[in-house]
Structure 1
Amino acid sequence: MSKMTPQCKMTSHTFLSDVPCAFFCLWLFCLIGLFAPATAQQTVIKPGQMWLDTKGEHINAHGGGILFHERTYYWYGEHKVGGAPGNKAQVGVHVYSSKDLYNWTDEGIALEVSSNPDSDIAKGCVLERPKVIFNAKTKKFVMWFHLELKGRGYSSARSGIAVADNVTGPFTFVRSIRPNAGHWPQNVTPEEKDPKSIARTKAEKEKFSGGPSDKHKQFNILGSHMEGGQMARDMTLFVDDDGKAYHLYSSEHNSTLHISLLTDDYLDHAGSYVRVFPFRWMEAPAICKHEGRYYLIASGCTGWSPNAARSAVADNIFGPWEELENPCMGVNPQNQLGPEKTFGGQSTFILPVEGKPGAFIAMFDIWRPKDPITGTYVWLPIQFEGDRFKIEWMDEWDLSVFLHR
């Protein structure tokens, strides 16, 4: 009898019992390769560097925010298209998921822009800074974002609202609005209710810039928008310990920040809001709550160019707010930019780390308007010191930094 090819040891229950070992090992290797992730598991965060998802592609979720739901983090952000300069939405809102904050899985497009040219979110509109919160009463996921109608530049200054039954969507667009139409803020002054100053401001026909100028102080922009609703551009959402949700947005041609309570279903403004930091030109707001106090990060208004970060603290979300110093420290070696330019980035969200009380991550975007898809992300741990906090540059870091605080 001729010598037989050596066989692998198999049970009588496997169809591979007579397959040569070499062939079986090759088959197993190919099978493992087929289902293996495209990139190695990441164990650190590297601020400012290209951040690859589990398929090996740069994460496409700019100006985003994060929701923690059922033991998983979900990162929602603006989907950018390569080679398309500017900020016109061509696709919609992208969403990624992660269990550990290092490795992110592409979950697809959560909200698509519309092919209907009459839709408020028609392809080519401006759709910025999407944020998603979960309503425990309605069991709905609610998305808000800054919206500029197609073809109108930045004159619309609206808030878009969408809802979904599932955390990754698809989200259904509900409507867009200007906040708090017909309502005065809690801290309104008699001068802001003056009909003559309102009429005088309306006669200007919105001839104001979206950046710092002395003209804004000479007119009653708040009063001129009371009936139709206040302007809303850069924004974020915040859910407090009692389940109440708030919308923070840059208003009055970006000159003043508004903080507004939402209705119980999170789908509208409740008509209760305040003006804060008047004529301080605060945009890109991000907020968190630590040991009973509210902390804010924001930026100045310099278009796509970075500027020095702002910070503030309050005992009540409606204020009064105390403005603090620039919280940033250190230099980003990739572009040699330090605190005076916020490492080259701009704030977008403050992320509480689940299961680690007092652990928060400041999220920033490095914008690249000529090719927005190449924009990168700067995530850095927040360090609290009394009623202040600081954000120190790190070339790379992991969540263990919070164990030593």
Structure 2
Amino acid sequence: MNKLTILTLLFLVLVNALKAELSKASNKSMLNSNRIVNGSDWYDTSGKLISAHEGEIARFGDTFYWYGSSYKNNPQGRFRMTAGPVWNGMQVYTSKDLKNWTYKGVCMPRPKEGFGLLGATGRGHVMYNEKTKKYVMWYRWFVAMPASFLCVATADHPEGPFTPHGPKEVGSWTGFGSDMNTFQDEDGKGYLIYCDHNKPKSGGNWRYAIRIDSLSDDYLTSKREGILVFDSGCEAPAMVKYKGKYIAVASGVHGWAGSNTKCAVADSPLGEYKKQADISEQRTWSSQVTDLIYLKESNTVMALCDQWWIPDRADIDKSRYLFLPLFFDEKTGRANMEYRKEWSPLESQANQKK
């Protein structure tokens, strides 16, 4: 082997080693970056697909907690509207930057017997009650539509385990409710925003109205006192306080397909709410809002959205998520959502492109 050949081989070895190091550095940089990339599969820090559907992102201290339902290994891999083992428990992930999520396990497991054994549980939302020192989760449970109930569970820690306390009556005339969310105001008062899909007393089709109820001081029961925000055709509600206004959103009733986001704004949690035109485009970019969270670092509201696995629903646990910014114009009194292919929720939005 001549000298030139040896030098060439040595050069190639060095080039390949450099490429490997650059690749490692690039992967590490991507992992540590807090830029969200929408339209892609999201993995936790162990490399597994994040499984936290129709849930919320809450903040306790300096840590974000992502609660959601897991549909891994379900019979037929799909969510059904009748009784059956279609739910694997409520899961929780934690993050400091909204980008890198660490799996913390099942915070409310599927019961082995008794209440909750059949049916499906979802829409878990958690608040910390300062008076009782408990973390309170409200969630939806049903065995077969339209019999749907709102339930409560409590825990001593945000990662659980949460202990169910059964269904609670809410402000609809039947006491039932479906898709729901919670809101905790700055004064510590708690509220429940939910879908009342019951038929009116006078008969007719399900209304799919959106209501807001006041909660008791311990957050464990609804006072069954509240208001109607949207009178029909809505589900998957959420609310947030932003720039001194209370913003309530909901989707249309389109099953697994995306839906444009409806919006109403008020000066207090119990209204009166003024309805606006839809605040999203392209059926909320083929998704459905499931939660809103205010981020003080960037003075931005971030919407957590579900992009359900549409083609054949063969494995809905593969469904994706979107993080999208929601803005509010104080001059016009209007909110709007924007799509971001890639963005940093915790950084100022002023210089971030659509």
Task: Specify the TM-score bucket, using the shorter chain as the normaliser.
Answer: 0.7 to 0.9
Aligned to 2:91: 94
Preserved contact between residue 130 and residue 146 of structure 1 (Cα < 8 Å)? yes
Alignment of 1:24-39 (within 5 A): none
SS at match of 1:40: helix
SS at match of 1:170: coil
Preserved contact between residue 86 and residue 370 of structure 1 (Cα < 8 Å)? no
Q: What is the RMSD computed on CA atoms of the aligned residues?
A: 2.1
Structure 2 CA distance for aligned equivalents of residues 383 and 275 of structure 1: 24
Q: Shift in Å at residue 400 of structure 1?
A: 5.9
Structure 2 CA distance for aligned equivalents of residues 168 and 77 of structure 1: 12
Structure 1 CA distance for aligned equivalents of residues 190 and 62 of structure 2: 21
What amino acid maps onto 2:193 in structure 1? L
Larger radius of gyration: 1
Aligned to 1:255: 208
Alignment of 1:131-210 (within 5 A): 131-149=125-143, 153-180=144-171
Q: Shift in Å at residue 159 of structure 1?
A: 0.6
Alignment of 1:273-352 (within 5 A): 273-278=226-231, 280-328=232-280, 339-352=281-294
What runs of 5+ residues in structure 1 fail to find an aligned partner? Answer: 1-32, 181-221, 329-338
User: Structure 2 length as normaliser, TM-score?
Assistant: 0.81
Q: Shift in Å at residue 384 of structure 1?
A: 2.0
Aligned to 2:334: 388
Aligned to 2:178: 233
Q: Shift in Å at residue 318 of structure 1?
A: 1.4
Structure 1 CA distance for aligned equivalents of residues 279 and 92 of structure 2: 29
Structure 1 CA distance for aligned equivalents of residues 334 and 60 of structure 2: 29
Q: Deviations over 1:84-132 (max 9, x none)?
A: 112454311000000111100000000011111xx2211x411121111
Q: Shift in Å at residue 401 of structure 1?
A: 4.9
SS at match of 1:63: strand
Q: Deviations over 1:153-181 (max 9, x none)?
A: 1132101111000110111111112314x
Structure 1 CA distance for aligned equivalents of residues 65 and 240 of structure 2: 17
CA distance 1:354–1:57, change in 2 (3 Å):
farther
Preserved contact between residue 168 and residue 222 of structure 2 (Cα < 8 Å)? no
Sequence identity percentage: 31
What amino acid maps onto 2:211 in structure 1? H
Q: 1:120 aligned to 2:115?
A: yes
Q: 1:111 aligned to 2:108?
A: yes
Q: 1:74 aligned to 2:65?
A: yes
What amino acid maps onto 1:313 in structure 2? V
Preserved contact between residue 263 and residue 276 of structure 2 (Cα < 8 Å)? yes
Aligned to 1:359: 300
What runs of 5+ residues in structure 2 fail to find an aligned partner? Answer: 1-23, 199-205
Structure 1 CA distance for aligned equivalents of residues 339 and 181 of structure 2: 24
Q: Deviations over 1:231-276 (max 9, x none)?
A: 2001000001111000011003452111101100111112322223
SS at match of 2:77: coil
Q: Deviations over 1:346-374 (max 9, x none)?
A: 01000111444x31101110112431110
Q: Deviations over 1:136-162 (max 9, x none)?
A: 11110001111103xxx1132101111
CA distance 1:340–1:404, change in 2 (3 Å):
closer
Structure 1 CA distance for aligned equivalents of residues 104 and 38 of structure 2: 23
SS at match of 2:283: helix
Deviates more, 1:314-323 or 1:237-246: 314-323
Aligned to 1:27: none
Structure 1 CA distance for aligned equivalents of residues 243 and 33 of structure 2: 31
What amino acid maps onto 1:90 in structure 2? W
SS at match of 2:342: coil
Give the number of equivalent residue pairs: 306
Q: Deviations over 1:210-246 (max 9, x none)?
A: xxxxxxxxxxxx65x2xxx2x2001000001111000
User: Structure 1 length as normaliser, TM-score?
Assistant: 0.71
